[in-house]
Chain A
Amino acid sequence: MNPATKAVALLAAVFFTSISLSASTGIEIKEEKLKDSAVDLIYVLGNNLRRFIAESKNETITGRYFVDKQLIKEGQLDSGGYKELVQKISTLVTPHRQPANDALCRTPFKVFLRVGNDTQRLTGCRSSGYGSIFSRITRDAEFLLYSKK
């Protein structure tokens, strides 16, 4: 490998590492602020509209999962798991991310994150951009809701 190619490869490696680090770190949300916060994940798969809502209020964290507006599961969430979930969602909705072009999207999603009075949102499509990150977040949300006894 000649020196020029090495330099390009090194620069590319540094660039991609910094991107993945910023994506995994996101914005640190202080524990105190989480006491008044909410998460809303709305998405379409096939013919169904699905929605996961989690809300932290008065020292209690409640989660609800709906399919086509029908409540499927409701329960309290573990605070540690909720904090992790909010952290992951914050990396998805950070302002520098551009919404995906979903003109032909059959599997759109919307994400809302409210911390105190500050609300951030993102609209996207599963088959482009952040679809995979979104899918893992919804799986984690389900795990959180079903794992609390």
Chain B
Amino acid sequence: MGVTLRSKLLILSTLGIIGVAVFSFIAVKAFKATTKNSNKAKTIAIKLVEKPQADPKPTIDVCHNAYTVFCSKKGIARDPTGVVKKDLLGELQALRTYEEIIHETPGLSADEVDEELVKRIYTPERTRRIRSAYEWARFSIQKIINAQHGDILSKTEKRTLKKVLETTPLELPPPASVYADEPDLLTKNDVFYERFENGTRRLRVGGAYLLTVKSWFNMVFTLAHELAHTIDPCELKAQNIEVKAYKSLAECFIETDLTAKPDPEKECQENDHLSEAFADWMAVQVAAVTLKKYSTEFDRAQLMNAAINTVRDLCEEEEILEFDTVSHPSSKVRIQNIFAENPVVRTVLGCSIKNSENRYCSFDWKGKN
């Protein structure tokens, strides 16, 4: 009996050990399976989330997402007046020409090379188009100023703004000596405005820009943007010129998220986008009138390419960390909010203006409705 009982106990404990082992095995298996399944579930979930990104064909339309439509377009957009190439391509072409001249005629001085470069880049046809875009941009900005009601811009303010515009000449070679104090511009892609300590102003166009941009619409927008800088709030503030309407315009930029509210001490300094937002906003109005002018001549595809070319170079986001001068709003804000929300641009593109009319900034902006 005693033996039997001991045997029974032994059998029972053996069975118990086996039971625990089997239970542990099953438990581990079950845990592994659960983990595997949850990973699998995670993978599926990721796939579900990723899928729409990988296949973006669906419903992006220019009326709601102009930034994506304009900036994701592969290759160049050709409007009836020409194309806009990538910034760097024009510069490389200018530098290749520069190199060719140096090696074709060894012994030329840097100034002589510049003179030959100007002959090849600043051709009469190219400079004629740039001058014409400058005249059109200046005329259009003056017209926008004139169109404001006397309560918004006084006669004196209008006169001041127009005088600033009139006293900002476009300086273009030839001869190369026109840029003798900035000869490196001849191979650069930049169009820019400068004001000097003695009060003189000027607009200059780098040689590579003439090779990069053939589209009339981009020329008009670019020159209008630079001309607008001559009368932007920060430029005028630096010259102690006050324009009352600029206050509500700046408030509108903040309210509609075009610019952030600046620290009062840092207004118009590093990272304040007011100056650039103003220049974009003014240039968009000029570009909008230009697009509208051609809207009856061009078909829909041509008009779309003209709109893309107007702001195509803004897709290339600037990132100049070395100087902490991130002065432009982001590309998305510039294209989506400043350009594509303009009611005239929207009309030209066949988009509804129901919401944009009240939200888009103007000199007489009274607040968000």
A residues near B, CB below 8 A? 42, 44-49, 67-68, 70, 72-73, 103-108, 110, 126-128, 131-132, 135-136, 138-140, 142-143, 146-147, 149
Report Cα–Cα, A142/B313, bound state, in Å: 25
Min CB distance A111 to B, Å, is 13
A47-B318 in contact (CB<8A): yes
Are A136 and B189 in contact (CB-based, < 8 A)?
A: no
B82 within 8 A of A: no
Tell me, in angstroms, the Cα distance from A49 to B103 when the chains sit together. 28
Give which listed residue, A72, A73, A108, contacts B323 with CB less than 8 A. Answer: A108
Partner of A128, one of B103, B196, B323: B196
Shortest C-beta distance, A5 to chain B (Å), equals 24
Taking a contact as CB atoms closer than 8 A, the residue among A107, A139, A140 that contacts B192 in the complex is: A107
Given the contacts A47-B318, A72-B92, A106 and B325 also touching, CB distance less than 8 Å: yes
Chain A residues positioned under 8 Å from B186 (CB to CB): 139
Q: Which of A48, A72, A149 contacts B95 (CB 8 A)?
A: A72
B102 touches A135 (CB 8 A): no
Q: Closest 10 interchain pairs by CB?
A: A46-B190, A132-B181, A139-B183, A135-B182, A139-B184, A138-B184, A127-B194, A45-B190, A47-B318, A143-B110
Interface size on B, residues (CB 8 A): 43
Cα of A132 to Cα of B269 in the assembled complex, Å: 23
Interface contact A67-B91, CB-CB below 8 Å: yes
Tell me which residues across on chain B come within 8 A of A127, comparing CB atoms: 194-196
User: CB distance A135 to B184 under 8 Å?
Assistant: yes
Bound CA span A136–B238, Å: 28
Contacts of A104 in B (CB 8 A): 234, 238, 268-269
* Chain A residues within 8 Å of B55, by CB: none
Known A-B contacts A128-B197, A149-B103; the reply to A46 vs B322 at CB < 8 A is no
Q: Is B330 an interface residue (CB 8 A)?
A: no
Contact of A49 with B320 in the complex, beta carbons under 8 Å:
yes
Which residues of B sit under 8 angstroms from A139, Cβ to Cβ?
110, 114, 183-184, 186
Closest Cβ–Cβ distance, residue A102 to chain B (whole Å) = 9
Which B residues are CB-close (under 8 A) to A48?
87, 188-190, 318
**Smallest beta-carbon distance A44→chain B, Å:** 6
Query: Could you pull out 9 A-B pairs where Cβ atoms are within 8 angstroms?
Result: A48-B188, A49-B323, A67-B88, A73-B95, A110-B323, A136-B181, A136-B183, A138-B184, A142-B95
CB distance from B319 to the nearest CB of A (A): 8
CA distance A106 to B273 in the complex (A): 12
- The answer to whether B95 touches A146 (Cβ under 8 A) is yes
Contact B102 A143 (CB under 8 A): yes
Whether A46 contacts B192 by the Cβ 8 Å rule is yes
**B99 interface residue, CB < 8 Å from A?**
yes
CA distance A47 to B234 in the complex (A): 19
Any chain A CB within 8 A of the CB of B333?
Answer: no
B173 interfacial contact with A, CB 8 Å? no
User: Known contacts A44-B325, A143-B113; can you find 11 more A-B pairs with CB under 8 A?
Assistant: A46-B188, A46-B189, A49-B320, A49-B322, A72-B88, A72-B91, A104-B268, A135-B184, A135-B185, A142-B184, A146-B99
CB of B238, distance to nearest CB on chain A (Å): 6
Q: State whether the Cβ of B98 lies closer than 8 Å to any Cβ in chain A.
A: yes
Chain B residues within 8 Å of A73, by CB: 95
| A135 to B206 CA separation, bound complex (whole angstroms) | 13
Q: Which residue of A lies closest to B226 (CB)?
A: A46
Whether A45 lies near B188 (C-beta < 8 A) is yes
Residues on B with C-beta less than 8 A from A149 are 103
Give the shortest distance, in Å, between A15 (CB) and chain B (any CB): 19
Chain B residues whose CB sits within 8 angstroms of the CB of A68 once the complex forms: 88, 319
Among B91, B95, B318, B323, the most chain A Cβ lie within 10 Å of the Cβ of: B323
